[in-house]
Structure 1
Amino acid sequence: MTSLSPVEKSDRIISLDVMRGFSLLGIFIINMISFHSPFLYADAYTWWQHPDDKMFYPWIDVFVQASFYPLFAMMFGYGLAIQQRRSSLKGTSFYPMAVRRLLGLLVIGCIHAFVIWSGDILINYALFGLLLLLFMKLSGKVLLWIGGLAFILPQLFFSILLFLVSLVDETGVTHFTDIQALQSSVQAYGSGSIQDIFIQRWKDWYNVNGPANIFFLMLSILPMLLIGAGAGKLQLLEKVKNHRLGWSITLIVAVILGISIKSLPILVEPNLAYSYIQDFLGGPFLSVSYAAIFALLLINKKITKWFRPLAAAGRMSLTNYLLQSVIGTLIFYSYGLGLYGQVTLITGTLLAIGIFAMQVILSEMWLAKFKQGPVEKAWRMFTYGRKCPVKERDM
């Protein structure tokens, strides 16, 4: 029986890697805010005092916030479907490999969340990815339907419910700043000891991922994994040329819905109800529009060449994602430069873009000599249970 092995460069789908790279940039821009400021506990609509930051934040809120982790989740599901297809073609068992792969990601996520930065997303991808395996025997169309319904029905229900609450009791959905938690965060990350930072990191992680939120996290991530897996089974990215009209219609609809819904806090009222609707309902629509834009653009081979550096960053997405957290915390936490709470939103965003540009260059340089990133290599060894040389010039 032929053994299952990782995807070779000749088998890769460049649009998938480009979307991963683009997702990394968007995720970094949002994560950078939490690296340098107590974003988790502050009302973002009143926190920024500098006039330029006040004008800039709505753009991030509409076009970046909650619009990239769904895209990355869809690409994660798509990649898992590719692994399943390759497993079937080679006559190997997919599920043991997939379980090892997701457990390996869970370990990496735990190290990231509790040793480096609390805003980890890998734990959720790993846990909900294990749930995704329960559906992977279904057809691509069925997965798309289940994922679509699992997204739209609960989010519509909670969106309507919160909208009605906002009409009855405006104070119940008012944004607020948790002063005590905010001060604790600034003290721990800005000037605290390693122990202080560890305790604060745990509190931050639990506030986001604890029992009170895990259900909503599942509703926001698992449907995207299902949609991505369904698209992967149907090989939608590989068949864009044959379905340009469908992709174009999807783009138009997703852009209109995404931007309209995500603009609600700015156009109507920046309260908790509209923020929920903005992120959990509008975010995924905008994610789909980003995917459609790149899928259509990359039909053109000349344009594809321009995006190859971004694809290189996407091929090393796990390494780059973790490196972003290491760099961000070293710049702002007390054990590094200690600049926590001392930079503006625009400065932080420019810093994120600059660091990401360096990551793109370094990813190209690394992949010119090696087959994959260093963390991907470790994950590969855990998944496939054997050592493989990383270095590969003929790729």
Structure 2
Amino acid sequence: MAHTPIREGRSGPISPSDRIASIDALRGVALFGVLAINLVTAFRISIFEQFLPTGPAPPLDRAVETALTLAVDLKAFALFSLLFGTGLAIQFEHLSANPRRAFLLLRRLVVLLAFGLIHLCLIWNGDILTEYAVAGLIVLPLLFGPRSLLAAGAAAFLGLYLAMQEWPPPGLFPTLASLQRDIQEAHLIYPKGSFVEVLAFRVREIPLIIPLHVYMFPRTIGLFLFGAFVWRSGVLRKPHQMLLFSTAAGCIGVGAALVVAGSTDSIPQTVIGKLATPASTFVLAIGYGAIILAIANTVSGKALLGWAAPLGRMAFTNYLAQSLIFGWVFYGYGLGLFGSIGAAKALVIGLAVYIAQVFFSAWWLSSYRYGPVEWLWRTLMYGTMQPMSLAPSRSI
């Protein structure tokens, strides 16, 4: 039976029955892209090795790395940023009747910032939650403006990000020598160090990682705003299949052309060549999102992608769980596989973890309203204990 999702005028968390399953499915699929890139480029080896020349790799590993670079890489993170902006706009609308809306959403982002800092310092310094929280704090006031303001803001911040490809801020990035020293230390400490040694080195790496976030920050804000604009436009409330399929075809076609242009030897030296690859990331992200949503909104697509919706509903829990699991797999306080396996084997490990999370998410949500971390986030946001069990509570 059809119903209108995300009912307006509520003051508490969105009910599981009011969620849009296709958006949850999209988030669940995007989570695999994030997992794959984090695993291959940041857990398996130092995150900085991608910026330095590397020796020859076995053909299978090279094929995996190339496929992830061209088809997934920053596109998965761009898609997640779009979804975060959409989610923030949904929360903003859902709380429209609550006089404490601004305070609640501010507290939601501050709690996310606290989670991010804990994750960044104690679990894994490749954290994205901190950046998302800070970007959300900038985007939040703009949600009170008209839809045109969201569109203009998205264009301005994405334009700034593209301009930084041609004119990067001077002195922002560390020297190659400092990166090489860090990589050498990483290969000594990460595979053999104790938890305390790994923790200390992880914290020492943060100043080298911050410039990467600064460089990507305008893009994150721009994609948040674009995701909020898409929600405000209404195309996700009652999806128009032809619009979604045509958007997917156009964006994937243009994005693929930009990828080719950015990788052609004769083009990258021009301004167009320098902008082609970064522009392709969010064009392809829109295309990926549109095609997955279009499929997920069909009868057969719901059966095909239904497994991803529980995973997407618990994306926060699953993201943090991946950091804990992969930290144990690759660092010295666990299996210590850092730097010792290729991209293909790492991806097999990641796929096994992802499949396990698919089954765990479905099992968990068969009894509970939210994932464990999602429940804690809502409880801290509203300042009251949120119901967890799906079993109806008795009124008092």
TM-score, normalising length from structure 2? 0.87
2:201 is aligned to 200
Q: Decide whether the 8 Å contact of 2:262 with 2:277 is kept in 1.
A: no
Change (3 A) 1:271 1:358: farther
1:257 aligns with 2:264: no
Q: Describe the superposition over 1:260-312 as per-residue Cα deviations: whole angstroms up to 9, x where unpaired.
A: 33345643289899997466322111111111101211221221132121010
Separation of aligned partners in 2, 1:102 and 1:276: 34
SS at match of 1:191: coil
Q: Is the 8 A contact 1:192 1:334 kept in 2?
A: yes
Q: Equivalents in 2 of 1:29, 1:271: separation in Å?
A: 27
Structure 1 residues 258 and 208: CA distance shift in structure 2, 3 A: farther
Q: Which residue of structure 2 lines up, in the alignment, with residue 166 of structure 1?
A: none
Q: Give the Å deviation of 1:195.
A: 3.3
**Structure 1 residue 126 corresponds to structure 2 residue 123:** no
Query: 1:72 is matched with which residue?
Result: 80
Shift of 1:220: 1.6
Alpha-carbon displacement from aligned partner over 1:96-142 (angstroms, at most 9, x marks no partner): 11011001111111111111101000000000100001201122343
Distance apart, 1:213 and its partner CA:
4.5
Question: 2:348 matched to 1:341?
Answer: no
Q: What corresponds to 1:167 in structure 2?
A: none
Q: Residue in 1 aligned with 2:326?
A: 328
After superposition, give the CA deviation of every residue in 1:175-200 in whole Å (9 maximum; x if it has no partner).
Answer: 99943221111111111233331232
Per-residue CA shift, 1:234-259, capped at 9, x if unaligned? 23212222xx4433342233212322
Indicate how the Cα distance of structure 1 residues 245 and 146 shifts in structure 2: closer, same or farther if over 3 A, else same.
farther
Whether the 8 Å CA contact 2:262–2:274 is kept in 1: the answer is no
Partner of 1:188: 189
Amino acid at match of 1:19: L
2:43, 2:338 within 8 Å by CA — same for their partners in 1?
yes
Q: Would the alpha carbon gap of residues 383 and 370 (structure 1) be closer, same or farther in structure 2, given more than 3 Å must change?
A: same
Instruction: Specify which structure has the bigger relative contact order, considering alpha-carbon pairs within 8 angstroms and separated by 6 or more residues.
Output: 1
- 1:286 corresponds to: 284
2:161/2:216 contact within 8 Å kept = no
The letter of the residue matching 2:71 is: F
User: 1:1-395 to 2 correspondence within 5 Å?
Assistant: 4-33=11-40, 34-43=42-51, 46-47=54-55, 49-88=57-96, 90-151=97-158, 153-161=159-167, 178-209=179-210, 212-241=211-240, 244-264=241-261, 266-268=263-265, 277=275, 280-393=278-391
Verify the 8 A CA contact 1:147 1:226 in the aligned structure 2: yes
C-alpha offsets along residues 25-60 of structure 1, whole Å, 9 cap, x if unaligned? 000001112111123234476345212212331111
Aligned AA (1:50) = P
Structure 1 residues without counterparts, runs of 5 or longer = 163-174
SS of 1:369's partner is: coil
Give the root-mean-square deviation of aligned CA atoms.
2.7
Q: In the aligned structure 1, how far is the partner of 2:368 from the partner of 2:311?
A: 13
Q: Which amino acid aligns with 2:199?
A: F
Q: Which residue of 2 is the match for residue 169 of structure 1?
A: none
1:209-245, Cα deviation, whole Å (9 max, x unpaired):
2xx455422212000000111112223212222xx44
Change in 2 beyond 3 A, CA 1:99/1:255:
same
Is the 1:42–1:176 contact (alpha carbons within 8 Å) kept by the matching residues of 2?
Answer: no
One-letter code of the match for 2:191? G
Tell me: CA distance 1:57–1:265, structure 2 relative to 1, closer, same or farther (3 Å). farther
Q: Does the 8 A contact of 1:81 with 1:232 survive in 2?
A: yes
Give the AA of the match of 1:62: L
TM-score by length of 1: 0.88
Query: Alpha-carbon deviation of 1:340?
Result: 0.9
Cα deviation for residue 159 of structure 1 reads: 3.6
Q: Which is further off, 18-27 or 263-272?
A: 263-272
Where 1:390 maps in the other structure, the secondary structure is coil
Q: Does structure 2 retain, via aligned residues, the 8 Å contact 1:20–1:75?
A: yes
Indicate if the aligned counterparts of 2:317 and 2:371 stay in contact, CA closer than 8 A.
yes
Distance 2:134 2:266 in 1: 35
Distance in 2, Cα, partners of 1:32 & 1:390: 31
Whole-angstrom CA distance in 2 between matches of 1:137 and 1:208: 33
Distance across 2 between alignment mates of 1:358 and 1:275: 41
**Within 1, Cα distance between the matches of 2:167 and 2:246?**
30
Q: Contact (CA 8 Å) 2:157, 2:219: kept in 1 or not?
A: no
